[in-house]
Amino acid sequence: MKRLLSGVCVFIVGLAFSYSASAQGVPAKAFENVTLHKADGSTVEDAVIVWRNGVIEAAGKNVSIPFDAEVWDGGDSLHVYPGFIDGYAYWGSPDQKQFEDTPKYRGKPSYERAGIRPERQAREAVKMDSDDFKKVMKKGFTTAALGTKGYMIPGQLDLFLLQPELQIGDLYKGGVGMQMQFEESYRVYPSTVMGIMARFEQLMMEAKALNEWQGYYASSSTEIAPPPNDPVLEALYPVMQNEQRIFFKADSKEMIERVFALQDKLDFDWVLVSGMEAYKVADELKQRDVPVLASINFPKKPEWKKEDYEEEGEVTDEMQGFRDKRWNAYLARYRNIKKLMEDGVQVGFASADLELKEMADRMKDWSEYGDVTPEEMLKVMTANTADILVKGSALGGLKKGQVASFSIMNKPFIEEKAAAVYSVSAGELNELND
Amino acid sequence: MKAIKSTILLIAAFLLAQTSVAQITEKPGFGKFAITNADIYTVTNGVIEDGVVLIEGKTITYVGESTDIGADFTQIDASGKRVYPGFIDAGTGLGLQEIGAVAVTNDQNEVGTFNPYIMAFTAINPHSAAIPVTRTSGVTTVISAPGSGVISGKATLINLYGNSPDSMAVLQKAGLIHNWPSADRGGWWDDRTDEEIEKQYKEQLKKLKDYWKKAITYHDMMASFEEDPSGKEEPDTDPQLEAMREVIDGDVPVIVSVDSGKDILKVIDWIEEMREKTDARFILAGLEEGWLVAEEIAEADVPCLVGPVLDTPPEDYMGYQVAYQNAGKLHAAGIPVALMTQDIENVRNLPFNAGFAATYGMGIEEALKAITIVPARIFGVEDKLGSIEEGKMANLFIADGDPFEPMNHVEQVFIEGYKIPMTNRHRKLYEQFLNRDATVSE
């Protein structure tokens, strides 16, 4: 009897383990009769996608749906895309803090007053219940590296798997990079571009000195004063030691070249963010192996280029010549991403300063004038961005084993009024119809 | 708010780009040029009449009466015209500010009292609309300096052609801008009592001297360790004072900006004191009342950057001409004098500043030197700039007469060998409105 009981116990425990190992405890979910748009540009019609426990189990044609799956029927009209990834977003970020005061020691302000906040984590600043998240999910985004608005060094980027209302558990990776930009402080040092150039150099020297001091203090027992506690400088250590990249937001060729100059002096790894004129320095970016998270925050089209524009008078040759030149300058901006791709620069996507309400129009401009195919656009916004943010991550695709983060859209994403009706983020399904 | 600012900046940058595209469509020429039949004002070797200047790449390769000119040279017949070395303005804010009243375009003034680590070079905007306006007047090279505070930062010496600060820089660090506190009343708006002025002046002076003392101590400490580190604990690097070391060593000169006569005397005393303690090199700048103490300056053996010449007198009771005469009087005392406009939009008027200085005592030849070879010597680049000589950088221009005369024209400018398109925003506007039709359309 005793042996029988112990045998039953062993069987039950064994069953429990085998159940857990095959993860059958969590029921699967699936969409059927959908068109899959893979990150490599290929499409599969009448397809099925199955996911379980936050991971894609299968995606393609003739995929058998597990017996325990909850199934949604796409009715042959829904399109499944890998979730778009925003490589540098301000979604949910409070507005840049405005300072009205004039401190007594304007040349030596506090770190906060100077806008130097490398220790600040986005997850502590971002409004987790912001409406922004649902809005971007409707546009097909399931993942975003969230940053905060600020001055010279606003804080750390945190990579989130989006939900309509974020929780700390939705954080995929914290501290993906340190944000930096040429944003001058108000009435305190650094208040100019040359001030920012000098201040960053000083910060790196100060961080190095503190780091060495801490090292000496730790290794030596006597006659060394204890180093001060400086979380701001300590937050620069990973950058200083090339363990973390700077996500440097810069647009004009001249500003990008200033980052080159800083890199030459201070030897840090970095990612160019926004980079509206990056095409002008594509060779240098390629040579330095600097990836670009490019923005599509293009200038709005001139009036005379709009479809409903009616010409009031005669367009003289001179006027036409000027318009042609101006339009060529617009085209150069629209084709920024394509030029970078052609020149072998790794390019991902960043909304950066783009306002949410402008996104559809700018996406349309990109598609129309950017000289890119929908497949290229998709790759930039998914696999490329994923690879820039976290090399070798399981984000940005629809392959088996990848994170189940994808969008189910009512039509191909570049078509007018395309919107996600469902969003699956880290396996969790959200119905996005209002 | 930041998004709005960024958008405005983006649009502004875009529109500026359009403007410059519309303005300057011609590309600069580069290669081999022969300027023939010109009167060449070499500055250092007199005037060569009906002479030849050859330019190959970035360099002047021949200056003289005649030579064989290869078929591969582009010839420019300058019969009846003059060739001058490119003018040098020894004090401007070019490239650091676009429109004074628009804060986002102003990068010249950093906050803080002692900023030796600030480098104007890092913020130069090569696409400033004021640059083509300036260079087409024959000014090919300028000192661009930061302002504000006591130590504003380091000025840069740049050529006025290039697509990046790197391609423009002759010297990344040309001098440390050091503004001497003033013991004078500011003007009618300054309602401080004499005692308050004196007290504040002394306080500012004490801070200045304390800062230098700290910088010298730091420099000596680091130098001592570097010379012989044995048995010494490595001192911590101070990022701010570190920027003073090259100044104390004399690698980067100190440009002390001072105006009143009595302040100049105090500066001279201080310079003597600093010379005993350091290897620092000094240049005086501004010097509105320099003529009052010219002998003392000469005795102190300090070169001077004087200007603007086209200015009003520093005091109501002084004659109208004192600013015009100042440079000439300083020169007459035996002081090396370079001229500066201390301007941004109107650096183009440097030749006319020199013209006034010439007329009011300096003489044409010395005034010409004051905007060519003298500033080149003061900043240690006389092997590259300041005269038309073989081996020097091809910075020169062709004019149809004396460039100090406003009615004459600069016809062609070369900067580092580049044949510069002679157009700019002013000329475009001039052409646009020159022959405008007076009729008004319905």
Closest CB to A209: pick one of B2, B122, B236: B236
CA A78 centroid distance within chain: 26
pLDDT tens profile B277-331: 999 999 999 999 999 999 999 999 999 999 999 999 988 889 999 999 999 999 9
Contact B2 A251 (CB under 8 A): no
| Interface test with chain B among A192, A197, A200, A205, by most B beta carbons within 10 Å | A192
Give residue A312's pLDDT: 83
Asked if the model's pLDDT at residue B15 lies above 60, the reply is no
Q: How far apart are CA A84 and CA A37, in angstroms?
A: 12
In contact, B133 and B428? CB cutoff 8 Å? no
Please provide residue B405's backbone torsions phi and psi, each rounded to the nearest 5 degrees.
Answer: -90, 125
CB contact under 8 A, B112 and A189: yes
The DSSP line for A380-417 is IIIIIHHHHHSTT-S-S--STTSB--EEEESS-TTSTT
Tell me if chain B has a CB within 8 Å of the CB of A252. Answer: yes
Asked whether residue B13 carries a pLDDT value surpassing 70, the answer given is: no
| Percentage, residues of chain B above pLDDT 70 | 93
Q: Taking CA atoms, what residue in B is nearest to A354?
A: B3
Cβ–Cβ of B2/A297 closer than 8 Å? no
The whole-number pLDDT of residue A18 equals: 40
Give the closest-approach CA distance of B233 to chain A in angstroms: 11
| pLDDT confidence of residue A84 | 96
In A25-84, the residues whose Cβ lies within 8 Å of chain B are: none
Across the A:B interface, residue pairs with CB atoms under 8 Å apart total 110
A183 interfaces chain B, CB cutoff of 8 Å: yes
- Which pLDDT belongs to residue B437? 66
Q: Which helix (H) or strand (E) holds A114?
A: helix A111-114
Give tens-digit pLDDT for B32-62.
Answer: 999 999 999 999 999 999 999 999 999 999 9
- Minimal CA–CA distance to A90: which of A168, A161, A163, A150? A150
Shortest distance between the Cα of A383 and any Cα of chain B, in A, equals: 28
The CATH topology of domain A84-305+327-395 is TIM Barrel (3.20.20)
Helix (H) or strand (E) run with residue A4 in it: helix A2-21
Tell me whether residues A258 and B122 touch, CB distance under 8 A: yes
Residue count of chain A, please give it. 434
Q: How far apart are CA B242 and CA A209, in angstroms?
A: 13
B16 or B95: which carries more pLDDT confidence?
B95
Residue identified by tokens 């360790």 is B225
DSSP sequence for B209-256:
HHHHHHHHHHHHHHHHHHH--TT-PPPPP-HHHHHHHHHHTTSS-EEE
**Beta-carbon separation of A194 and B14 below 8 A:** no
Residues A293-311: tens digit of each pLDDT: 999 999 888 888 888 888 8
Return the residue of A nearest to B117 by Cα.
Answer: A198
Distance CA B15, CA A251 (A): 15
- Out of B14, B121, B123, the one facing A299 most closely (by C-beta) is B14
Helices (H), B30-100: none
> What local confidence, expressed as pLDDT, does residue B440 receive?
55
- Among chain A residues, CA nearest to B23: A322
Reply yes or no on whether the pLDDT at B432 is more than 90. Answer: no
* Same fold yes or no, A26-82+397-434 and A84-305+327-395: no
Crossing angle (nearest 10°) for helices B2-23 and A317-334: 130
Contact by Cβ (8 Å): B406, B353? no
Tell whether the model's pLDDT for residue B229 goes beyond 60: yes
Determine the pLDDT at residue B104: 80
Pairwise CA distance, residues B130 & B138, whole Å: 13
∠ CA B50-B54-B59, rounded to 5° = 140
Q: What is the pLDDT of residue B356?
A: 97
Domain boundaries, chain A: 26-82+397-434, 84-305+327-395
Half-sphere exposure of B394 (CA within 13 A, CB side): 27
Look at A297 and B10 and tell me if their CB atoms are within 8 Å: yes
Q: Cβ of A331 under 8 Å from any chain B Cβ?
A: no
CATH for the stretch A26-82+397-434: 2.30.40.10
Interval B242-251 mean pLDDT = 96
Angle at B89 (CA atoms; ends B62, B366), nearest 5 degrees? 70
Is there a contact between A209 and B21 if contact means CB atoms under 8 Å apart? no
With contact defined as beta carbons under 8 Å apart, do A420 and A140 qualify? Answer: yes
Q: Which is nearest to A190 in space by CA: B239, B247, B127?
A: B239
A201 contacts B117? CB cut-off 8 A: yes
Q: Which of A197, A202, A258 sits opposite B239 (nearest CB)?
A: A202
Q: Choose the closest CB to A205 out of B7, B108, B237.
A: B237
CA distances from B284 to A420, B177, B259, B297 (A): 69, 10, 9, 9
Q: For residues A34 and A75, what is the distance between their CA atoms, to the nearest angstrom?
A: 7
Q: Span B192-209, mean pLDDT? A: 91
Q: Which residue of B has its CA nearest to A183?
A: B2
For chain B, the average pLDDT equals: 91
Q: Tell me which residues of chain B, numbers 219 to 258, contact chain A at a CB-CB cutoff of 8 Å.
A: 236-237, 239-240, 242
Of B108, B119, B126, the CB nearest to A197: B119
Percent of residues, chain B, with pLDDT higher than 90: 77
Query: Contact A149/B2, CB-based, under 8 Å?
Result: yes
Complete DSSP assignment for B313-324: -SSTTS-TTHHH
Residue numbers in A near B117 (CB within 8 A): 198, 201-202
Which residue of B110, B126, B149 is in closest CB contact with A190? B110
Mutate which of B1, B2, B19 to test chain A, going by most A C-beta atoms within 10 A? B2
Alpha helices in A140-180 (DSSP H): none
Does B240 sit within 8 Å of A202, measured CB to CB? yes
The whole-number pLDDT of residue A177 equals 97
How far is B376 from B277, CA to CA, in rounded Å? 27
Asked if A194 lies within 8 A of B239 by C-beta distance, the reply is no
User: CA of A189, closest CA in chain B: separation in Å?
Assistant: 5
For every residue of A202-223, DSSP letters joined together read HHHHHHHHHHHHHHHHHH--SS
Q: pLDDT of chain A along its 434 residues, tens only?
A: 444 444 444 334 343 434 344 445 789 999 999 999 998 889 999 999 999 999 999 999 989 999 999 999 988 889 999 999 999 999 999 888 788 777 878 888 999 999 999 999 999 999 999 999 999 999 999 999 999 999 999 999 999 999 999 999 899 999 999 999 999 998 899 999 999 999 999 999 999 999 988 988 888 766 788 899 999 999 999 999 999 999 999 999 999 999 999 999 999 999 999 999 999 999 999 999 999 999 999 988 888 888 888 888 888 888 898 899 999 999 999 999 999 999 999 999 999 999 999 999 999 999 999 999 999 999 999 999 999 999 878 899 999 999 999 999 999 999 988 999 999 999 999 998 76
Q: Do A213 and B111 touch (CB under 8 A)?
A: no
Nearest to B139 by CA among B429, B360, B352, B384: B352
Closest CA to A115 of A157, A149, A154, A148: A154
**ipTM of predicted complex:** 0.76
Q: Rounded distance, CA A25 to CA A31, Å?
A: 20
B167 Cβ under 8 Å from any chain A Cβ = no
> pTM for the whole thing?
0.84
By C-alpha distance, the chain B residue nearest A148 is B2
| Span B370-396, pLDDT tens digits | 999 999 999 999 999 999 999 999 999
Is the preceding peptide bond at B308 cis, omega within 30 degrees of 0? yes
Residues of chain A positioned with their CB less than 8 A from the CB of B11: 299
* Token pair for B22: 């519309």
Joined tokens for residue B223: 């130098």
pLDDT digits (tens, 9 = 90+) for B95-154: 999 888 888 888 888 998 999 999 999 999 999 999 999 999 999 999 999 998 899 999
Where in A256-323 does DSSP place strands (E)?
A: 270-274, 292-294
Comparing CB atoms, the residue among B11, B106, B125 nearest residue A299 is B11
Give CA angle at B261 (B260, B266), nearest 5°.
Answer: 95
Positive or negative, the CA dihedral A17, A22, A25, A26 is: positive
Whats the size of chain B, residue-wise?
Answer: 442
Q: How far is A110 from chain B (nearest CA, A)?
A: 13
**Strands B59-64, A171-181: pairing kind:** unpaired
Q: Do A189 and B115 touch (CB under 8 A)?
A: yes
